[in-house]
Structure 1
């Protein structure tokens, strides 16, 4: 629906209910009763009971508090959404002070200014992918454009050969789906990706001198103590996985949502300057997978708007629910590119704010802007409710987007 707010301004909004299958059943199970601090409870897939925070103010407060520990959850039989543990040196598993030491090492390169140098690369890759799309008899936007875009850009960013994609990418997909249906295969594929990144760090596989891998290895001694091979692998593994599969998931669902919402697509075509705001609003409402953050353990008591967290509580600060809190986002189930006010928490907040947020924004905004400019008549050429999807704990997305224009 289009709502005219003045003679010169048109606000275009669209209900989330009009986008089939965007949301998925949650990965947790609600529990009856309340915590000792009066907060709602859930059961995690690991069987642990956790405090469930859903209000924006409470989730924001916990995510911003570095005393909530991640390392305590990444242990055998620990409270988790995942079917297995992960290496402790991954940023998402680190607590202070180790997290600050490693995060500070990469902050500049992954900042908005740091990823801006990739803009010509993003445009060049899109040029090639659009040419391939135009040449197809039965064009599939996911297969031909969306699927190869993030991984190709990331290879240029990291300085690794694009020829390696055929080797590591199938394993990366399995790892980021993180399904508990076949844990041996999940572990096998994880260690294959881990071994691949280890080879990049140790020089067993070639990298370009102008890429982040080579730069990080050369600069490892600029922090105290110097970064070990395992720590460098932990940093770069997050990029190999997240800057490919996570960005792809949000990118695909952003395009899918627009194609299911013709008024929003027309708004982007008619007003390309709305793209950054539209990307933020789509990011607010789009769930990455079936979880939005990882559990934490409270190391101190904390008073919240809805109750209190007690020392030792396992806490799930649900950023997805917070992004649809009506106290923070009026009419939260409506996509409104002109929305003002609070910033969404899709990329997390505080010390565990997503390292690749700026890169994600650059790629998604650029792709949407160019799609609208070069394919203004773009529409889905299939029933959106019948499209196949990847479905996992960490990512969930359509894997086919037949289109016409």
Structure 2
């Protein structure tokens, strides 16, 4: 069994993100070296898990802890140590906070929002059609749709979207913002939420933020004021940021796979399975992040991970593991067995997974149905891509129809 004391760490990430292509190094690692020692641009050395089974263990086994990383020089691609709030907690603290908002994101509650999301999506497409092509799908559709949905769920004025969407970049920035800008944006976001909290105390409203304020004020041992503000800010940012990115990612992949897109247009009932397959196929993360720390010596992928050592789960690689997914590098919108880990696994499984699924289903279904001639309005090499962020995606996606 390999021991960390006998292994030289390799630089990671292996290369800069190439659009939505998964780095080919992962395929070789899954085959030959499923767990390797890596050194990121910042922080201590770590293990990188690349196989599906090992990634599931790291994400789901209580012996791998997020809270154990607090106060450590965690491996990361950004200069700063991010303040991740609930994402840096283990049960029972994590459970206490998650329970306060989990009811708002149940499958039943999310289904009640579907008709409103559909109304918003149709309205955005109406405006695109009226203005005529070309249009930037990121600006005209992918950004306002999830922002308006999370605003209405949480109780945040949609009119303030430009400000909080800008501030939210601080949560996903690696190098796109300076440490000073990140701190400024986070303070602005927290200050903004703090003002909304104060308003709820004077004018109670029946929305998620109002419910969180009541939970704080009526039972203070459940939620501190700082936890209230940071939890609400995290929900607002995370509740739109990744979906804003995934909508154009999914459209880009579909346009790059015309046979599968034609299949979807011919059979709209495939939309739910198409979304699951796109969640599996698209490597959203620019690199693996959010290490888990072993709380005891654990054998993983033929390697002895010692207590106190961090392990990075390579979710994008796990979702291409051929031992789990047949023909893993092929997009198959009708894939039946699809236990992907695109939303994570275990106690930190994405709180808003059901909301994101619904929004993505509405977005893709609406675009396929309403704009059957959807196509890129520029040559593919001219599509600009985001950089310096935890996530990858088009900065703009000019389309015509």
Which residue, out of 19, 22, 46, partners 1:21? Answer: 19
What does residue 126 of structure 1 align with? 121
Contact preservation (8 Å) 1:293, 1:319:
no
**Does residue 393 in structure 1 map to residue 389 in structure 2?**
yes
Question: Hey, what does 2:130 align to over in structure 1?
Answer: 135
Aligned-partner Cα distance in 1 for 2:213–2:327: 48
1:316-359 CA distance string (max 9 Å, x none):
12111111111111221111122233511111100111111111
Instruction: Establish whether residue 345 from structure 1 lines up as the match of residue 358 from structure 2.
Output: no
In structure 2, relative to structure 1, the CA distance for the partners of 1:314 and 1:241 (3 Å cut) is same
For residue 312 of structure 1, the aligned residue among 308, 311, 314 is: 308
C-alpha distance 207-159 of structure 1, shift in aligned 2 (>3 A): farther
Unaligned runs of 5+ in 2: 1-17
C-alpha spacing 1:350/1:93, structure 2 compared with 1 (3 Å)? same
Q: Which moved more, 1:351-360 or 1:338-347?
A: 338-347
Report the number of matched residues.
379
Q: Does 1:403 align with 2:399?
A: yes
**Aligned ranges 1:39-50 → 2 under 5 Å:** 39-50=35-46
TM-score (norm 1): 0.86
How many Å apart are 1:72 and its aligned residue?
A: 3.3
Alignment of 1:3-402 (within 5 A): 21-23=19-21, 39-75=35-71, 77-87=73-83, 90-137=85-132, 138-179=134-175, 182-203=178-199, 209-220=205-216, 225-402=221-398
Other structure's SS at 1:337 match: coil
* Deviation, structure 1 residue 224: 7.9
Question: CA shift at 1:155, angstroms?
Answer: 0.6
Q: Say what the alpha-carbon RMSD is for the aligned residues.
A: 2.7
User: C-alpha displacement at 1:259, in angstroms?
Assistant: 1.6
Greater helix proportion: 2
Quickly say closer, same or farther: Cα 1:346–1:293, change in 2 above 3 A. Answer: farther
CA distance in 1, matches of 2:366, 2:234: 28
Following TM superposition, the consecutive aligned residue runs of length 4 or more in structure 1 with deviations greater than 6 angstroms are 204-208, 221-224
Following superposition, the deviation at residue 136 of structure 1 comes to 2.1
Consecutive unaligned residues of structure 1, counting only runs of 5 or more, are 1-19
Q: 2:3 maps to which residue?
A: none
Contact 1:174 1:186 in 2 (8 A): yes
Task: Out of 311-320 and 392-401, give the one that drifted further.
Answer: 392-401
Q: Please report the TM-score for the alignment, with normalisation by the length of structure 2.
A: 0.87
> Secondary structure at the residue paired with 2:131?
coil
Measured after TM superposition, the shift of residue 80 of structure 1 is: 2.9
Pick closer, same or farther for the CA change 1:96–1:227 going to 2, 3 Å.
same
**Structure 2: distance between partners of 1:205 and 1:175:** 27
The alpha-carbon deviation at position 292 of structure 1 amounts to: 4.1
How many angstroms apart in 2 are the aligned matches of 1:67 and 1:96? 12
Q: Which string of whole-angstrom CA distances, capped at 9 and with x for unpartnered residues, describes residues 91-141 of structure 1? A: 111112101111122222112112222112211211221111012243222
In 1, the alpha carbon distance for the partners of 2:83 and 2:291 equals 16
Match in the other structure for 2:8: none
Residue 19 of structure 2 contacts residue 392 of structure 2 at CA under 8 Å; is this kept in 1? no
